[in-house]
Chains A and B, each alone.
Chain A
């Protein structure tokens, strides 16, 4: 029972109290805090250049500055679209658990979490609709997102944490990037501020869920968790390489372009850079044996 694990963990209870208090103290009205200009200039970087999917790759040589700017615009709209979809998925999972017997202990914090995530989804969707005139969709299908097992809550919250850490890497960089438009920096800065609480919570929760799971798990079950989450890391990374983005930016063969980038020698370094913090955490907790994401 997750609540029992938390109740027995004085440190975690203290963290939950502090995070809830901080949520109340830092509360802002997202519907008032942003000033949305009518338009944003087309001829600028919409995303920090070293965060764009083509950074460091050979294909950059074939693209002019104007096309790189256009690409960065659609990549940024894709990034915020991924946020919208990712937040919807995590809201579904957290809402399924709030005030159930198993999750009574973190439910007070879940109220803040759900409220804040709903607001984040709103401002990301607003950005996409205002400046990209769309929210990119992703094909959805296949079996359940998280396979039903004893590890279900562990996998759900580990996925949420990985997703938040990925997004936060981008947010933190773009919030600091003085080359970006103020509106773009503000969206990223505000999200980064709130996410630091959610990430702190996620790290604590995932660690205790894993400690509990591994007590009764076989070696094979532990490896299955590792394999599944490593696949999720790569899946999340690859979702940043959207053929629809390349099509909108005027790239001739979007699928081939995507393939070239994902098979480029720079991919590994880029992926490891983006996930440096969560991979260190996942290895430190014992969920991953190593940081190698591409295992047979």
Chain B
């Protein structure tokens, strides 16, 4: 497990690895949903993890699922440089 830097995508990556240690390391570009790293039962928690790590409030009414598909997309959408 990598050490988590606060306010970075690492916290999200660590959460996924914590749920699926056998799938470590999680590539920045792997489709998390297609590869069942995130399913409908874990999606709610996943959104909260991203909100907490990024400090961004996510509007559930306007969620674009593509923003959640890869760590790269999540970083771009919710972790402004």
Contact = CB atoms under 8 A, between A and B. Distances in A.
21 contacts: A137-B61, A138-B44, A138-B60, A139-B58, A139-B60, A139-B63, A140-B40, A140-B43, A141-B43, A142-B39, A142-B41, A143-B33, A143-B36, A143-B39, A143-B40, A145-B40, A147-B39, A231-B41, A232-B41, A239-B44, A255-B48
A141 B44 CA distance: 8
Contacts of B39: 142-143, 147
Interface string A98-142: 000000000000000000000000000000000000000111111
B42 A142 contact: yes
Q: Is the interface of B mostly helix, strand, loop or mixed?
A: helix
Interface in A215-230: 228
B68 A141 contact: yes
B67 to A, nearest CB: 10
Interface residues of B, number: 21
B32 to A, nearest CB: 9
Contacts of B44: 138-139, 235, 238-239
A138 B58 CA distance: 11
**Among B36, B40, B46, B63, residue most surrounded by chain A Cβ atoms (within 10 Å):** B40
B38 interface: yes
Given A255-B51, A255-B52, A141 B45 contact: no
Contacts of B61: 137
A243 interface: yes
B58 A142 contact: no
B61 to A, nearest CB: 6
A258 interface: yes
A228 B42 CA distance: 11
Given A138-B60, A139-B47, 14 more contacts: A139-B58, A139-B60, A140-B63, A141-B38, A141-B40, A141-B63, A142-B33, A142-B38, A142-B41, A143-B36, A235-B41, A239-B44, A255-B51, A255-B52
